[in-house]
Amino acid sequence: MLNVALPKGRLGDKVYKMLESIGYACPEILEDTRKLIFESPENKVRYFLVKPSDVAIYVEHGAADIGVCGKDILLESGADVYELLDLGFGKCRMAVAAMNGFREDYTRPLKVATKFPNIAKQHYMSQNREIEIIKLYGSIELAPILELSDVIVDIVETGKTLVENGLCVKETIVPISARLIANKTAYKFHGDEINKIVNELKNT
């Protein structure tokens, strides 16, 4: 039985369709239901619908053998998992953004508002820049507008949200995309099956 952690939402739907096409169908998952676990004994697969930021935790602890989550979550959580495949979708970037015309004052620490404090710390540490982190959970773009912070570190897709709020990208930190991850122990004992999935997904 293969245990798969799927992120709730568009990404999870897309990944399910891909897995369905390589033999891991579980039609129950497409029904309108509040269930969180779906099992197909014929196809020997079990899916869990999980909050996107929790996928890596389920996989790391072995509650799921494999899962899909964004590179942003992997970098932020530092989860100890195998990152077997860049699925090539959910593409965006982690970037530093600030108000148009923002001028940095290097004589004091930079105030950084972000949902990703670890990524932000790592980035500025590599530049030897002292920062103060303000951890927020959503609508991060508000922070520099209200002078809560100087800059933000956040995911940027098209950049439309930034532009509409008078912000612009100052720096790209790292490109982000959806990754297939695997539990390390599960890989030792079910490596053949997991590897087969990786290869077949590469070809779809």
Binding site for another protein (CB under 8 A): 60-63, 80-86, 179, 183-189, 191-192, 194-195
Tokens linked to 138: 């959503």
Min separation Cβ 75 and another protein, Å:
10
DSSP state of 109: P
Vertex 195: Cα angle to 29 and 36 (nearest 5): 20
State which residue, 78 or 166, has the beta carbon closest to another protein.
78
Minimum distance of another protein from residue 70's CB (angstroms): 13
> How many angstroms separate the CA atoms of 55 and 57, rounded?
5
Instruction: Tell me whether residue 195 or residue 204 sits nearer to another protein (CB atom).
Output: 195
- Nearer to another protein (CB atom), residue 86 or residue 200: 86
Taking the complex as a whole, how short is the minimal distance between the CB of residue 136 and another protein, in angstroms?
Answer: 21
Cβ at position 99, least distance to another protein in Å: 32
Q: Which two tokens stand for residue 47?
A: 């899916």
- Burial of residue 43, with CB atoms counted within 10 A of its CB: 0-12 exposed, 13-18 middle, 19 or more buried: middle
